[in-house]
Structure 1
Amino acid sequence: MPAWVGTSGWQYRDWRERFYPTDVPQRSWLEYYATRFPTVEVNNAFYRLPEKSTFADWRARTPDGFVVTVKASRYLTHVKRLAEPEEPVARLMDRAAALGDRLGPVLLQLPPTLRADASVLDACLAAFPPSTRVAVEPRHESWWSTEVREVLEKHGAALCWADRLGRPVTPRWRTTDWGYLRLHEGRANPRPRYGRQALQTWADRLTHTYTAREDVYVYLNNDPGGAAIVDAEAIARALARRGTPVVGV
């Protein structure tokens, strides 16, 4: 199970004191980040889809083997609510294609008020190129049905496992031959850090679910105070202790 471990973004002001050396200017933070982690989840693409030139710039500034996961824009997930997906998906993929071989999965995080509609999800996933890895993070309990699971399996899409406050908020379905985990907020001090036991438990769940040849992407989204950095490094160590190859650059 090759594990790709990173954080949800890299441009946080309070990381200046906790992660980035004082002699590294903010314009070079991505280059420095890529020396410490093999992947990043671009969370801010949700708020504003970057131009194609921005994706190309990220490709030029990162080393071979680095993976950029892109969170789909809220226009697709929150405004259109997955309906009529062809144009927003095509626009997303056209721009993200500038990443070339750096492009990793696309994350669809659904609104917490969006109730399950397996047919709409089916049509949305069908709009993506067949080679695209898509992870889906529903946030309404109505999505936990056999019909939805079958749609994910049909398209080879991963159900995004998610954790908040040290507890799973999604089923731990295995819907394809790769996995995706987002850790949003822990309960340890200083908040929102994750405790050692919580991270070890997630490492166990991953290693018991996926084989040695199946990619798993793990992103820490608890950015305040640099918690994501510390916890990403900690879960990477926990996975390595369990014999999991943790990808480096």
Structure 2
Amino acid sequence: MSNAAIRVGIGGWTYEPWRGTFYPDKWPQKRELDYAADHVTAIEINGTYYGSQKPATFAAWAKAVPDGFVFSLKASRYCTNRKILSEAGESIARFTGQGIVELGDKLGPILWQFMATKTFDADDFAAFLKLLPAKQDGLSLRHAVQVRHDSFAVPEFVAMCREAGVAIVFADSADYPAIADVTADFVYARLEQAEERFVAGYAPQALDGWATAAAVWAAGGRPEGLAYVEDKAPVRQPRDTFLFFINGAKVRAPQGAMALIERVGT
């Protein structure tokens, strides 16, 4: 993957309200991934959170999308929805070993999402980060964590993620804390406040702002106006940047992604 790529996408591709609003009328459902992959540049797969997939399924997904397209995978809930995270090793190995390597260079970051009730336990979370493998069957893996409790908005959490090279997901959310500190060699943002009253989910000026933020992230900078735990800027280096329109008014997600892709010119 080239440095400083900006990829913009949606969550999944099978969603009935997109039929006729995103997918053309009478578009065959078995070709919805093909269509989506021609109009956005990344997809976050949620189904891997709920259950495992077969290697052949990952291979088929990879074959269905064009070069340069990337899938982000939400990690299994059995890894993250547990009282003691340091005991997740077996579940993590099962998740990364299920055949995700069949995606090859179309495998983007793995998203480890935690419940809003999960609070920050420094020792336990540090142990969890150490369990995340750098590679699976020779394929490099990148990891992003989405935490959704205010107790994580502390320098100790930011420092341990930076030491591990794991990205903290920035979520534009009305319900959960936003942590925009950059801790990895890539950036992962989830835009979760789409409103149906806007054609693209967000107002045009808001999309302009996210396009600016994406360009700053990709160039290695620190966008202004976001919520940070630390005052210091990250080490300046180009960073692959992923933005997903997800949750909120989901029916508007494809239009939001396409509008942002037009703005960032990628």
| TM-score normalised according to structure 2 size | 0.82
**What is the identity, as a one-letter code, of the residue corresponding to 1:201?**
G
**Structure 1 position 134, deviation (Å):** 0.6
1:101 paired residue number: 105
2:154 to 140, 145, 150: 145
Question: Compared with structure 1, are the counterparts of its residues 41 and 147 closer, same or farther at alpha carbon in structure 2 (3 Å cutoff)?
Answer: same
After superposition, give the CA deviation of every residue in 1:189-242 in whole Å (9 maximum; x if it has no partner): 1599211222222222333344173200011103756300111112222323xx
1:17 to 20, 25, 28: 20
Pairs within 5 Å for 1:90-169: 90-95=93-98, 96-130=100-134, 131-165=140-174, 169=177
Tell me whether 145-154 or 55-64 shows the greater mean CA deviation: 55-64
2:262 paired residue number: 237
Tell me whether 60-69 or 103-112 shows the greater mean CA deviation: 60-69
- Number of corresponding residues: 240
1:89 to 88, 92, 112: 92
1:17 counterpart SS class:
coil
Question: Compared with structure 1, are the counterparts of its residues 49 and 41 closer, same or farther at alpha carbon in structure 2 (3 Å cutoff)?
Answer: same
1:34 counterpart SS class:
helix
Q: Percent identity?
A: 34
Pairs within 5 Å for 1:10-89: 10-79=13-82, 82-89=85-92
**What is the identity, as a one-letter code, of the residue corresponding to 2:12?**
G
**Structure 1 position 84, deviation (Å):** 1.3
Alignment partners' CA distance in 2, 1:192 and 1:26: 23
| TM-score normalised according to structure 1 size | 0.87
Contact 2:22 / 2:255 at 8 angstroms: preserved in 1? no
Alignment partners' CA distance in 2, 1:27 and 1:223: 26
Contact 2:166 / 2:184 at 8 angstroms: preserved in 1? yes
Contact 2:217 / 2:239 at 8 angstroms: preserved in 1? no
1:70 counterpart SS class:
strand
Contact 1:192 / 1:222 at 8 angstroms: preserved in 2? no
After superposition, give the CA deviation of every residue in 1:102-124 in whole Å (9 maximum; x if it has no partner): 11100011110000023222222
Contact 1:193 / 1:231 at 8 angstroms: preserved in 2? yes
Question: Compared with structure 1, are the counterparts of its residues 202 and 81 closer, same or farther at alpha carbon in structure 2 (3 Å cutoff)?
Answer: farther
2:16 counterpart SS class:
coil
Question: Compared with structure 1, are the counterparts of its residues 190 and 197 closer, same or farther at alpha carbon in structure 2 (3 Å cutoff)?
Answer: closer
Which structure 2 segments of 5+ residues have no match?
Answer: 135-139, 221-237
Pairs within 5 Å for 1:185-224: 185-187=193-195, 189-190=197-198, 193-211=201-219, 213-222=238-247, 224=249
CA RMSD of aligned residues (A): 2.3
**What is the identity, as a one-letter code, of the residue corresponding to 1:127?**
L
Alignment partners' CA distance in 2, 1:11 and 1:227: 14
